[in-house]
Structure 1
Amino acid sequence: MSPSPVSSTPILRTVLVWSGTVTAALAVVGAIVGYLVAGTTGMWSALVGVLVAAVFLGITGASILIANRWYGNDLYVPVFFGIVMGGWILKFVVFIVILLLLRGQPWIEPAVFFVALVASVLASLAVDVVVMLRMRVPHVSDVELPTDPDAGDRTDGMPPAP
């Protein structure tokens, strides 16, 4: 498989890998802290909170990576926005459904769930910032600049300007 010509692809792949690592660490820490705070109910609440955040934050990066596969196609822009917006709408609907299903469950400690969810979102934002600061991407990317006819790149048969 040839590398993607879209400059965001390596950034998004790196974000997904780092986010997976941070999510695993948060799951372990959250489970331990949740257990110490509220027993097994707290442990499961923390694990579910971290998992929900990881899945929903990963959908955005994955949808952009999938949409980037159409780069160079005439329908790239509508396909890209269709996939990304569809992913966001899907996330919104599924998030509401999950919250409605988890509301009032006896094995969920709401405070632990909320703290785990917020900690996961903040950790994901921190990963995004660190990856963006460390990646070396040109300020102008994914474009082809036109040639300069006056510099000798004329194609109309006329000699270059002096």
Structure 2
Amino acid sequence: MPSSQPILLRALKWGVLASLALIVIFGVIGWFVSGSTGLVGGVLGAAFAGVFLALTAGSITFANRFIEKDFYVAAFFGIVMGAWLIKIVAFIVAAVLLRDQPWLNPTILFLGVVAGVIVSLVIDMIVLTRSRLPIVSDPRD
């Protein structure tokens, strides 16, 4: 495994924990703002952000399993770009399907997604700045 693998796993772990906390926080905020529709919007927004975070970090972590193979670069970029494509399609489908739903507060949903993205960026920044990664590349036999 590359030396960056523990950093990615740490970011994934903290991202999942933060996403669970955001689901609870935005569920409560949504409930107080607009009742059950706010609850659903807050939970879905924070959950979407958590799933998208997990897809990115998880795809990179999974792709690193092929580091010893000759096709590593192609597999890495194929897996990571495939995960990004899945995220884009899922976002568009979710936006179209949830656009006019009466059981959902779209403002709380949007705020939950934005908060999840900001929190995941902050977590990535903190994990990366506190990690010790060698300056030279991974050694080869």
Deviation at 1:140, TM superposition (A): 2.1
Q: Give a deviation string over 1:34-72, Cα, whole Å, max 9, x none.
A: 101111110110000001111012101111111100002
Matched, 1:137 2:138: no
- The number of aligned residues is 141
Alignment partner of 1:16 out of 12, 18, 29: 12
Deviation at 1:108, TM superposition (A): 1.2
Alignment partner of 2:110 out of 110, 114, 119: 114
Q: How far apart, in 2, do the equivalents of 1:61 and 1:8 lie? A: 12
Alignment partner of 2:80 out of 78, 84, 108: 84
Alignment partner of 1:99 out of 95, 98, 101: 95
Deviation at 1:142, TM superposition (A): 1.8
Deviation at 1:143, TM superposition (A): 4.5
Q: Give a deviation string over 1:68-112, Cα, whole Å, max 9, x none.
A: 000021111111111111111111111101111111011111111
Alignment partner of 1:27 out of 16, 23, 28: 23
Matched, 1:69 2:65: yes
Residue type of the alignment partner of 2:88: F
Structure 1 stretches (4+) deviating beyond 2 angstroms? none
- 2:36 corresponds in structure 1 to 40
Matched, 1:59 2:55: yes
Deviation at 1:8, TM superposition (A): 1.6
SS at match of 2:17: helix
Q: How far apart, in 2, do the equivalents of 1:142 and 1:104 lie? A: 51
Give TM-score scaled by structure 1 length: 0.83
Higher relative contact order (CA 8 A, sep 6+): 2
In the alignment, structure 1 segments of 5+ residues that lack a partner are 146-162
CA RMSD of aligned residues (A): 1.3
- 1:160 corresponds in structure 2 to none
